Structures are given as C-alpha cells and as structure tokens.
Amino acid sequence: MAIDSRKIGPPPRSSRYSFVPKPPGRWQLYIKRASTFLVHLGQVSKLVRQTFVALFQRPLEIRATLHQLEMLGVRSLGIAAVVALFTGLVMATQFAYGLQKFGGMEYTGRIVGLSFARELAPALTVLVVGARIGSGITAELGSMAVTEQIDAIRALGADPIKKLVLPRLLACIVAMPILAAFALVLGFAGAMFITSVEFGLPSSFFLQTALESVRFSDYFSGMFKTPFFGAIAAILGCHFGLITRGGTEGVGNSTTRSVVAISITILISDFVLTKVSMLIWPAAV
C-alpha cells in the first residue's frame, strides 16, 4: 500500500528548553568528595560525643564489654602472632644479611629491638588487627541496621550507642595494648631464632645487645599509641556499620569503606602520635 507523503508531517522540532545533563567536571567531583568527607567527619564527631556521654550512664555494660573483649581481642591473637612472627623473621634476616657485608652483625639485635619496640610491634600489628576488628564490627552492625534491629532497640527504649558502640570501644582500647605487647615478644623471639640458626649469632648476645639498646621510654613511646589506634578502629567500624543502607550489597560496601578508612586513619595518626612522643620523651629519640 502506497503511503501519501503529504500526510506525513515534518519531524518534531526539538525544544530549545530541552536539557541534556553533562557529566560532572573534575572540580565538581572534588567538591562532592570533600563534602562527603565533611559529612562523615561530622557524623564521627557526633558518635564520639554520644559514646563519651554514654560512658557515664549507669549501669555499665560490663558483660557485653567482656564478651566483645573475647571476640575482638582473644580471637585476634592468631593473626597477631602470624604477623609478628614472620615480620620478626623477615626483618632480622634482612638486617643481618645487610650488616654482615660491613662486619656489623653484632648490631642486629639493637636495630631489631628498637624497630619493634618503637614502631613495628604497635603500628603493624594494629594496622592488620584493626582492619580485621573494624571490618567485623561494620559487618555486624551493618547487618543489624539493614534488618532494622537497631531501630527495634530504639523502639524498646534502649540506647544503641550504649548497648552496641560503647562495649566495642572499651574492648578495643583494652585489647590493642595487650595484642601489641604480645606481638613485640613473639616478633623479637622470631628474630632471635632466625639470627641464631641462619647466621650463627648467639641468642644470648642478641638478647643482651637488644636489652641494652632499648629503654623503657622506647617501649612506652610505642605502646602508648595503641589505645588510640584501638579507639579509631572501633569508632570508624561502628560509624560505617550504623549508617549502612541498601541490604547485603550495602553491608559489603560499608565494610570495604571501613577497612580503607581505618587503615588510612591509623597511618596518619601514627605519624602524629610519633611526633607527639618525640616531644614528650626527647631522650628516647
């Protein structure tokens, strides 16, 4: 059947008011990321304030705190042991191999002892264990958030900050120094073992030189940072867990963001606290 071309009108003219959105520019992305960071910073500050207020409310959640201390502290001993042991083995091997070329094998114990006491034991252990603890907290609280369990706690008249956040914060603050001290001993033992077996350095000499070089201020300057690291892991883990939305996919996204945020914040705070320790204990530098 033939089509009468006279009945076919002209193509519709596009309106001059039609709008096609452009992709955001570079500066718009920067501004959006900066605003998102400020929003998270404000939410974390509010969570810290609410947790501090809940600390002085009675009764204290002692049973829940002890339970979290077991879940977050005792069950992290395995990963802390593996990290510390193999870090000690690697560090001692590298230092002994390098110093052997210059006839300075006897300084291995001094260098390894100072490295572990001041930085490796507290920072590396907390970095790995903190990521593990923070991701677990985020996944647990995120699952409770998407299934409306946290809303149910509020509906029953209870405070989710006091019931969920405060016990985890106290447990992390207590557990981190213990885990760091455990990692220090185990990593130092691994270093002493490998230098004795591989390089023939007597264990007694290794131990003696290390104890002569490492002072109490060196131990304390490393260990005093661990409660702050534990608080960072707990607060950020709880924050990303409580704001989780979007079902199981949202839980996964929040867990990933939590691990990244905890790792970066611990590294930045490690530098700041190291500078503070150098100002407080200048003789330890």
3-state helix, strand, coil in the chain (%, to 5): 80, 0, 20
Q: Supply the pTM of this predicted model.
A: 0.81
Could you give the CA distance from residue 221 to residue 285 in angstroms, rounded to a whole number?
Answer: 10
Residue 215 lies in a domain: yes
pLDDT at 2: 54
Would you say 171 and 237 are in contact if contact means Cβ atoms under 8 Å apart?
Answer: no
Residue 124 lies inside a defined structural domain of this protein: yes
**What's the CA gap between 209 and 192, in Å, rounded?**
11
Give the separation between CA 121 and CA 134, rounded to whole angstroms.
Answer: 19
Task: Summarize pLDDT for 45-68 with one digit per residue, the tens.
Answer: 899 998 898 888 888 888 888 999
Domain-located, residue 38: no
Reported as type and span, the H/E element at residue 89 is helix 77-101
**Would residue 3 count as lying in a domain?**
no
Q: How many domains does the chain have?
A: 1
Q: How many other CB atoms sit within 10 Å of the CB of residue 9? A: 6
- pLDDT for the residue numbered 284: 46
Identify whether the C-beta of residue 113 lies closer than 8 Å to the C-beta of residue 211: yes
How far from 81 is each of 115, 125, 176, 203, 263, CA to CA, in Å? Answer: 17, 9, 13, 21, 19
pLDDT tens, position by position, for the chain (285 residues)? 555 555 555 555 555 545 555 566 677 777 877 888 888 888 888 999 988 988 888 888 888 889 999 888 888 898 999 999 998 899 888 888 888 777 777 788 888 888 888 888 888 888 888 888 989 999 999 999 898 888 888 888 888 899 899 999 999 999 999 999 999 999 888 888 988 888 888 888 888 888 888 888 788 888 889 999 999 999 999 999 999 888 888 898 999 999 999 999 999 999 999 888 888 776 544
| Residue among 177, 199, 226 nearest 109 (CA) | 199
Q: Is residue 97 part of a domain?
A: yes
Q: Which amino acid is at 140?
A: E
Q: Among 126, 221, 232, 224, which Cα is nearest to 179's?
A: 126
The answer to the question of residue 99 being in a domain is yes
- pLDDT for 25: 67
pLDDT for 166 equals 92
103: left (phi over 0), alpha (psi -120 to 50) or beta: left
**Is the residue at 75 inside a domain?**
yes
Residue 21 inside a domain? The answer is no
Range of the domain at 137: 43-52+62-280
